[in-house]
Amino acid sequence: MPDYEFSPASASEDRPRGGTSRRVYVVLIVCLLVITFIMAIGIGVLVLAQRSSDSTDYVSGIILGRCLSLTRIARPELKDKDCKKILDAFKSAFVSKDPCNITKEDYQPLINLTADPVPCDKSLFWSGSKQLAHQYTGIQKEMFTLEDTLLGYMGDGLTWCGDPRTSEIKYESCPRRNEKCNSTATYVFWNVVSQKFAESACGTVYVMLNGSRDTPFSKNSTFGRVEVFNLRPEKVHTLQAWVMHNVEGVSRDSCSGSSIRELQSIVQQRKISFECHNDYRPARFIQCVKQPSHLTCKALL
């Protein structure tokens, strides 16, 4: 054990210095706590201010960003589109309006600014199979779902509404669609753009349906309510359905099922030819990328 020489004198001389040091530490700690508290308040105020401003800029920023990325990078053939005017027309359709009383006419100026015709034989509709349909058009770049067009791409996955008491865009507290609130801004938007997408289709058009559901074709879906009834027989000569089944899922319906026969009847009554394929092979290959060892997928090789 080391020897330390101790004397009363040295002890008495050390105590005042130690006490001063401790007081300095206490003061420093208190100062740091005060500074931290002030900074926390300041940051909180900034965050609250940012959130309040973001309530209107969140949707606008996404819409504008998607418009610019699609028209300037992904599809430069649309570079003549004025994304600022498109954003203004989008906002004018519902901002400061009753969120339950939006009309198709409210979106007409936006429609006029965003013409994006799809070539004949390249329109792919979907119902219950959004992910697979988008994976397919992601590979087959010449094919287009609604969400591959300018308007569909801008609005995909978003919710928005207005309020007569403010000029902000709301997205977290929008009313749900029900019997008392049927014409919401988002619902009307998708009805309008879905109708436009169907009306502009020509040649052979395709629809990808989910055969692992009890009813692959539902008259309550957007395809069943809007799109199939807005295909124009003078432009569309054939509708080809692809009934896709999950690789490991149960095959609940097929081209011979009742819901597909109902679709066939609707299409043929409109003087459009109808074709159907179970598990359309090119789309099936995409499904099998994730499960190549499954027996269903091995049979494709």
Just list the catalytic residues. Answer: 120, 202
Beta strands in the chain (DSSP E): 124-127, 161-163, 166-170, 203-210, 236-244, 273-278
Greatest distance between any 2 Cα atoms in the chain: 113
Handedness of CA 139, 143, 145, 146 (dihedral sign): positive
Alpha helices in 167-257 (DSSP H): 185-200, 222
Contacts of 85 (CB under 8 A, 6+ apart): 113
What tokens does 135 get?
């994976």
Q: How far is CA 4 from the centre of its chain?
A: 75
Catalogue the long-range contacts made by 6-9 (C-beta closer than 8 Å, 24 or more residues apart).
none
Handedness of CA 55, 61, 62, 64 (dihedral sign): positive
What are the angstrom distances between the C-alpha of 62 and each of 59, 68, 148, 167? 5, 10, 16, 18
Which of 296, 284, 11, 301 lies closest to 129 in space, CA to CA?
A: 284
Q: Which residues on adjacent β-strands are paired with residue 205?
A: 239
